[in-house]
Structure 1
Amino acid sequence: MKNKKRKRTERIGVLIKILNDHPNKIFTLNYFCELLGAAKSSISEDIMIAKNMLEDLNLGIIETIPGAAGGVKYLPVISKEETKKFLQDICFKLEDEERVIPGGFIYMTDIIYSPENAEMIGKILATQFINKKIDYVLTMETKGIPIAMMGARSLGVPLVIVRRDNKVTEGSTVSINYVSGSSKRIQTMFLSRRALSRGAKVLIIDDFMKAGGTAKGMTDLVKEFEGEIAGIGVLIATKEPKEKVVEEYVSLLYLENMDLKNKKISIMPNPSLL
């Protein structure tokens, strides 16, 4: 039985809702025709109206894929203007002197674990790698999980979590030893053999990078699965040391300086993203 015919405004609203809920997933025109009780020509016009509206308002991109296996998908791309406004706001919050905690760390759990912030951070990171045809997002437990999850959602791919300890619930695992870039200590990371497909294209996302030792460890771990690194994205990277143990990465923010004595923090957005 065919679904009830809908008005154009109703069809466009449903179309945008479905595409937004499933980023980077291809839907065929037939799917919307059957769901909304409309002809292909009408659905095609609806898609073009929605596409133009979202792009005019900088709310993402609706992309059409030609051919028998084609259809339409939504890419939650964030504009440079929106990126600049958000990152400047995060810098302002992180530079609060009350965030300096013993050991020379910055308290930022409340920002990372805010669903609204995590979603925006994930979208901005995903925007940098949106055309890389990524199969998985990989992160290290635990603080990077929220932003990596939102990045994976924006890309429409699974999230895989690397563990610091071997968990029985993970089944058989692959482990590697790596040298922490900051402390120079040898540590171990584990990943379930079921977690990644052989030859997969992987995006690494993490919350913080100092010398890049953890990112390098995850890179080496992906190679154990004969995988390819599509990129490395982090929320914050320190300006020093300038030379990281990973060659290429994208950081949304740079920690310029942290004066522990006077509790002064200097953080700036990555100018190349603005």
Structure 2
Amino acid sequence: MERLQRKERVAAIVKILSDNPNKVISLGYFSELFSAARSTLSEDIAIVKRVIETLESGRIETLAGASGGVKYIPGMAKRAEEEFLQELCSMLKNPERIIPGGFLYMNDIIYSPEISSKIGTILAGYFIDRNPDYVLTVETKGIPIAIMTARALNVPLIIVRRDSKVTEGSTVSINYVSGSSKRIQTMSLSKRSVKKGSRCIFVDDFMKAGGTAAGIIDLMKEFDSTVVGIGVLVEGEAPVKKLVQNYVSLMRLESVNEEKGEVIIYPSNIGVVR
């Protein structure tokens, strides 16, 4: 590679780190890539760290030792989070989103790469210190949010299915009770998906009573693994008592009134354990 000036190296380091969130990249890699001394690169990384902190777009961590290096952890300033979620609530309050039956149309938000990426970054920020090995979700609407959370955490995404697929080989299936309808439902996961003793995060688009999340916890027990965090985009106000505890929700849906064309939704107390 052509020898780069400091400002060019700093830009390249930011690009490499942001493309590989939560991954330790050694100084040796940068030294070889830029043909620069480690002492010089340490100064470059100090500049990168200062810029990231100034922009409040995450943080840079350095790890000492022969196997050490530097990694970028995505994040958003609390103020930016609040503004973003207020904006989402404003979008969801549009009466045109009301679907017969008291449901709320959210597909355009969930499947927007820009929006789901920010949601994933916010959720990842609450779980990164729990050192998860996987992010789990149940097909299908939670997938975009879950995959963006998995990207920010830099761990694999695992999709739990409602029924088993031949292409997944041997599977583990469990029955669970839906918290809202009280109906027996089934979820299935390939035996090859999760390694024994793993730590998992469950991410979904909506939680009503928490039956699906409770089912995921039971399913992971079949793999001798643990759900160490639960994150949802929206939780329903009712029922007040959920089937799971210790979860993070970004917004709370209080009610959808079809007759009045009224949607009451607001940001949750983010990060508060429920």
Question: Is TM more than 0.5 here?
Answer: yes
Q: Give the aligned length.
A: 272
Match of 2:157 among 131, 156, 159: 159
The answer to whether 1:142 aligns with 2:140 is yes
* Structure 1 partner of 2:166: 168
State the Cα deviation string for residues 88-132 of structure 1 (Å, max 9, x = none): 000000010111101221000000000000100100110111211
Tell me by how many angstroms 1:273 deviates.
4.9
Please tell me the root mean square deviation across aligned C-alpha atoms, in Å. 1.1
Following superposition of structure 1 onto structure 2, how do residues 28-39 of structure 1 map, counting pairs within 5 Å? 28-39=26-37
Moved over 3 A (4+): none
TM-score normalised over the length of structure 1: 0.97
C-alpha distance in 1 between matches for 2:76 and 2:130: 16
- Aligned counterpart, 2:176: 178
Does 1:248 pair with 2:246? yes
- For 1:98, the equivalent position in structure 2 comes to 96
Code of the aligned partner of 1:259: N
Q: What amino acid is the match of 2:196?
A: R
Pairs within 5 Å for 1:121-270: 121-270=119-268
Matched letter for residue 34 of structure 1 = E
Which whole-Å CA distance do the structure 2 matches of 1:273 and 1:129 have between them? 10
Alpha-carbon separation, structure 1, partners of 2:269 and 2:151 = 25
The 5-angstrom pairing of residues 67-82 of structure 1 reads: 67-82=65-80
Code of the residue aligned with 2:39 in structure 1: it is S
Contact 1:80–1:273 at 8 Å: present in 2 too?
A: no
CA distance in 1, matches of 2:271, 2:216: 25
Q: Secondary structure at the match of 1:74?
A: strand
Distance 2:126 2:271 in 1: 9
- The SS at the match of 2:216 is helix
Q: In terms of mean alpha carbon deviation, does 262-271 or 31-40 score higher? A: 262-271
Which residue does the alignment assign to 1:120? 118
| Deviation by residue 1:193-217 (Cα, 9 ceiling, x = unmatched) | 1111110010000000000001111
Q: Which residue of 1 aligns with 2:9?
A: 11
Please, what TM-score do these two structures have when normalized by structure 2?
Answer: 0.97
Tell me the SS of whatever aligns to 1:254: strand
Corresponding position of 2:45: 47
Letter in 2 for 1:58: E
Q: Which ranges in structure 1 are unaligned for 5 or more consecutive residues?
A: none
3-state secondary structure, aligned to 1:10: helix
In 2, Cα distance between equivalents of 1:220 and 1:67: 40
